[in-house]
Structure 1
Amino acid sequence: MSEHDVLAERFEAHREHLRAVAYRMLGSLTEADDAVQEAWLRLARSDTSDVANLAGWLTTVVSRVCLDMLRSRRSRREESLDTHVPDPIVAAAEPDPAEQAVLADSVGLALLVVLETLSPAERLAFVLHDMFGVPFGDIAPIVGRSPATATQLASRARRRVRGAALPDADPPAQREVIDAFLAASRAGDFDALVAVLDPDVVLRVDSGAAAPSKLVRGAENVAKQALLFSRSGPLARPAVVNGALGLVSVAAGKPVAVFSPTVRAGRIVEINILADPDRIAQLDLPGGE
């Protein structure tokens, strides 16, 4: 086996970890893959004979790449982050063992939405330290700050993240609430819809360039939108979205949207819908023909 093949084999052993870091940093599956590929190219061009901890070296490289991508994205993005829904990780309602392993390590879509509101340095510090246990002494040179400042960045991010809508860890209870929501919307039962929604529920619909995206707040307003969706009604099929129960909407045999509700204390507190046809087409979604 050549030296290049050995290096490639060592890199492959860390690929899934690097992709997990990049996905949490970027909220985009395609950009995460691009960041991991760039890490491989940099590894192939570098002399790593003195690197004792290849996993740490690669994590640093992919983090720097992601930080550059976040900064570039922030400078050019004009649309409101309120209506941007990150790429979901979607599996069938009853995932196979391989999918279960991926989903067990996934992060909720609602949390990723909150991460989108952080500065690039805050997001990097939080993801690396709080999600992957990287010491602040290692994070500091990546963001070009002192360890104390890196600690403050993560602390600021942590305060924002505490407000993220985290789902109840009870899939049967989640399913009961989601089924009640679907039944009420299909029946056109406005009062039943309001009853299953939290009074302060938030709905985000990211349609990309295809149609205006939406940010809707409050149970009555969200219920009205749900009734509109049900009338134009593609078929909704159960799925697992970032480790929680959700739906894939299908029309003419093709997935057209991913519906990710967050259920807490018996009510839906947040709904994130990705309906951007360009991004939907790039996802490996169940539910099509």
Structure 2
Amino acid sequence: MTIQAIPIMTEETLAPFATLRPRLFSIAYRMLGTRADAEDVVQDAWLRWAGTDHGAVQSAEAWLVTVTTRLALDRLRERKAERESYVGWWLPEPLVELDERTPESAAELASDVSVAMLWVLERLAPEERAAFLMRQVFDQDYADVATALGKSEAACRQLVSRAQARVQQEKPRFAVSKDAHRELLSRFMQAAASADRAAMKTFLADDVRLISDGGGKVPSFGKILVGAARIAGVYWSVEHAYPGKITYRMARVNGEPGLVRYVDGVVESAQAFIIEGGKIVAVYAIRNPDKLRGIAPLS
């Protein structure tokens, strides 16, 4: 087995990378949807940066962003077969803060990393995803996008245009303040904890959707559930399946107010929500235990 040498860190190599690391993680996480894969990509980018001739690099930022994007794109292509064979719906590994008073790192909250956005990005082809993120989220010039993807600027414009149309089609029509989001979820959580189906329905849009990711590790729904009565019934059934054992906690899930549900003190799911017009219109329930390992158990 070949052991890769660890480059010697100097101020010249460390300072630019340390400054840009939050942004590089943001790019990799948005591309891949899992913390471990994103951190691996950033580490690979660091090894390449430490081993390059910095005198020949005109812009450390452009170099690192390009390399990180290419590495993430390569890994996304490698994982394509895994995603296609994934059992049920695939949702990202959530970035969860149980104490909302503690600011999350800029790496994870630099811009929109909501579960809803990553759900839409997952529907894009890998190169569309990369082009859209570089241009629309990180405001890179088309010349930089073209360099990173090895395509012409015209081709990249087409990729971004197609991705933008898909994102616009599926994104919420109206923004809601974090305070309003948090207040509605707090009231919904109280209704869910008391198994009050009628109260829950008052917070749910008639055509609300629930998307659940169990990854074949735990039971989940094989199709998207639709309807206030049906989804209120799901929450009601969980309370009655584990009487006295369910606990909800408000949390920040990928930068937005969300819920973590525990069964007997063990994390059962992280839940993200879309709210429009004072109603919950979508619920994303991440139940795959492999994706919940970073969330602390109930203390």
How does the TM-score come out when normalised to structure 2?
0.86
| Distance across 1 between alignment mates of 2:142 and 2:150 | 12
Whether the 8 Å CA contact 1:111–1:165 is kept in 2: the answer is no
Give the deviation of 1:212 after TM superposition.
3.6
Question: Residues 101 and 287 (structure 1 numbering): CA distance in 2 closer, same or farther, change over 3 Å?
Answer: farther
> What is the match of residue 248 of structure 1?
260
**Is 1:65 matched with 2:66?**
no
Structure 1 residue matching 2:123: 3-state secondary structure = coil
Deviations 1:180-217 (A, max 9, x none): 32233334333332332112211111122322432312
| Rounded Cα–Cα distance in structure 2 between residues aligned with 1:251 and 1:205 | 17
Worse overlay, 203-212 or 176-185: 176-185
2:33 matched to 1:24?
no
1:120-156 Cα offsets, whole Å, 9 max, x none, are 0100000000000111111123323211110111111
CA drift of 1:251 comes to 3.2
Assess, with a 3 A threshold, how the Cα gap between structure 1 residues 255 and 117 changes in structure 2: closer, same or farther. Answer: same
How far off its partner does 1:82 sit?
A: 7.1
- The structure-2 alpha-carbon separation of the partners of 1:167 and 1:234, relative to structure 1 and needing over 3 Å to count, comes to farther
Q: Distance in 1 between matches of 2:174 and 2:106?
A: 18
What does residue range 26-45 of structure 1 map to in structure 2 within 5 Å? 26-45=32-51
1:238 aligned partner: 250
Instruction: Work out whether residues 168 and 265 of structure 1, in 8 Å CA contact, stay in contact via their aligned partners in 2.
Output: no
**Deviation sequence 1:23-62 (CA, Å, 0-9, x none):** 1111111111011011011122322321010111010000
User: Is 1:154–2:160 an aligned residue pair?
Assistant: yes
CA deviations on 1:232-266 (whole Å, 9 max, x unpaired) are 35210111112221111223433332111222211
Gaps of 5+ in 2: 1-6
Shift of 1:230: 2.5
Aligned position for 2:3: none
Distance 1:166 1:229 in 2: 31
The answer to whether the aligner puts 1:205 opposite 2:212 as a matched pair is: yes
Matched, 1:227 2:227: no
Task: Measure how far apart 1:72 and its partner are.
Answer: 1.4
Q: Name the SS of the counterpart of 2:292 in structure 1.
A: helix
| RMSD (Å) for aligned C-alpha atoms | 2.4
Return closer, same or farther for 1:185/1:54 CA change in 2, 3 Å cut-off. same
| Residues 98, 69 of structure 1: alpha-carbon distance in 2 compared, 3 angstrom cutoff | closer
Q: Counterparts of 1:46 and 1:104 in 2: how far apart (Å)? A: 27
Distance 2:64 2:105 in 1: 25
Question: Which amino acid in 1 is paired with 2:162?
Answer: R
Give the stretch that moved more between structures: 160-169 or 110-119: 160-169
Paired AA for residue 149 in structure 2? V
**Cα distance in 1, alignment partners of residues 32 and 88 from structure 2:** 16
Question: Do the aligned partners of residues 250 and 99 (structure 1) sit closer, same or farther apart at CA in structure 2, a change above 3 Å counting?
Answer: farther
What is the match of residue 112 of structure 1?
A: 118
Determine the C-alpha separation between the residues in 2 that align with 1:176 and 1:139: 40
Secondary structure at 1:49 match in 2: helix
Does structure 2 retain, via aligned residues, the 8 Å contact 1:104–1:243?
no
Q: Is the 8 A contact 1:126 1:157 kept in 2?
A: yes
Aligned: 1:288 with 2:298: yes
In structure 2, the residue matched to 1:135 is 141
Q: 1:240, 1:200 → 2: CA distance?
A: 25
CA contact (8 A) 1:90 1:286 kept: no
Q: Alpha-carbon deviations, 1:55-98, whole Å to 9, x = none?
A: 11010000000111111112332346972111222113432245
Q: 2:86 touches 2:215 (CA, 8 Å); kept in 1?
A: no
Q: For residue 258 of structure 1, what is the aligned residue in structure 2?
A: 270
Return closer, same or farther for 1:65/1:99 CA change in 2, 3 Å cut-off. Answer: closer
Instruction: Return the match for 2:180 from 173, 177, 198.
Output: 173
- Alignment check: 8 A CA contact 1:202 1:270 kept: yes
TM-score normalised according to structure 1 size? 0.89
Q: SS at 2:271's partner residue?
A: strand
Q: Which one-letter code corresponds to 1:229 in the other structure?
A: V
AA of the residue aligned to 1:195: T
The aligned counterpart of 1:56 is 62
